[in-house]
Amino acid sequence: MSIISNTTVISNFAAIGQMTLLYRIYGKIHISGEVYEEIRKGLEEGYLFYADIEKHIFPFSDSGWIHLINMAGENEFRMFGRFPSKLGKGESSCLSIASPRNWLFLTDDLDARKQAKLMNIRISGSLGCLILAIEKNICTLEQGNIWLNQMIEEGYRSPVYDLEQLLR
């Protein structure tokens, strides 16, 4: 299964120093050129947790597990141009790529999640990633909750404060 992420999920994990947890969960993920530009802009604005992100991004690094891709074909570009303006370019590009390619879309953006549901695009977010890490025995429930609380302290608006509620 191929996965594309917008900035929100990457930011949440990067903010707590656990971006490579996404690698441990999925192996490889993709970001669009538009998401990469959002990340670069964030770094310029002082989000230092993005420092050295290029070492994780292919083609900047041969060992990069985050693969930079772009929209391809008329269908994806047309779709991109039709999304409502309330969606950012990162979200719109990810939706345009995920839909025709049947990829999982990682996002915590509420508007993007609503649009993905309308388009029958499979979605997950930071909470889903933490749950999957627990289910794959990458971390314990206790560690997952520590990371969740760190994300919340960094500004993540979580609907839950204990992952156990989602494991039931």
- Exposure pattern of 55-89 as b/e (b: 16+ CB <10 Å)? ebbbeeeeebbbebbebeeeebeebbeebeeebbb
pTM comes to 0.94
User: What is the residue-level pLDDT of the chain in tens, covering all 168 positions?
Assistant: 899 999 999 999 999 999 999 999 999 999 999 999 999 999 999 999 999 999 999 999 999 999 999 999 999 999 999 998 889 999 999 999 999 999 999 999 999 999 999 999 999 999 999 999 999 999 999 999 999 999 999 999 999 999 999 987
Question: Domains in the chain, ordered, with CATH?
Answer: 3-125 (3.40.50.1010)
Burial of residue 152, with CB atoms counted within 10 A of its CB: 0-12 exposed, 13-18 middle, 19 or more buried: middle
